[in-house]
Amino acid sequence: MSAESPAAPGQFAHRRQQFRAWRGTRPFWAGLFVMISGVPIMYFPYAHIKLGGLTVAMATTAGAGSLIIGVLLVVLGITLWFQKHVRTFAGIAAILLALVSLPVSNFGGFIVGFLFALFGGAMAVAWAPGLPPAEEPARQDTTGEGGAPEATDYDTTLLRPVNPVGEPNDLSGTSPVNGANGRHSAG
């Protein structure tokens, strides 16, 4: 193998290109943000943090509500990935769940989950599918006799006259020749 020969793309490069193509056709980052937002919202009410010998429990009376909100946010994030046509519904639902998480689950997972859900929901609502790539027009066959390409010498080609015979040269629309009688036709 020489330095000039291109290397064949490996399996990793091929899978990465497939993932990038898949990611580009859906609100990927919105779904990821919404999924990430569910984790702190459902984790903190059940967490027991140890500071030295002291255990700090952040359990609230609405621990089940926090779990439900967190699970719903994760499900909405997955829905954004695999059902891109419901992006508006999922985005609005994520924003509403983020707002509900403020009083229910430790200020929305200590504001972290709230912000991720808010931005992810807004990104989902704002996302619009891209236009499919336009097909390039087919190239015309420019082969001459015997399969050799035709040569075009632009310096020696004959130029057509600018104005065909019999048409006026006035483009302003004020010439009496074209019936405008000196007036503009602006309304």
pLDDT classification of 123: cutoffs 50, 70, 90: very high
**Residue 178 pLDDT level (bands cut at 50, 70, 90):** low
What pLDDT does 15 receive?
92
Highest mean pLDDT among 31-35, 55-59, 141-145: 31-35
pTM of the model: 0.63
Q: Which spans in 44-172 are helix H?
A: 63-82, 87-104, 106-110, 112-126
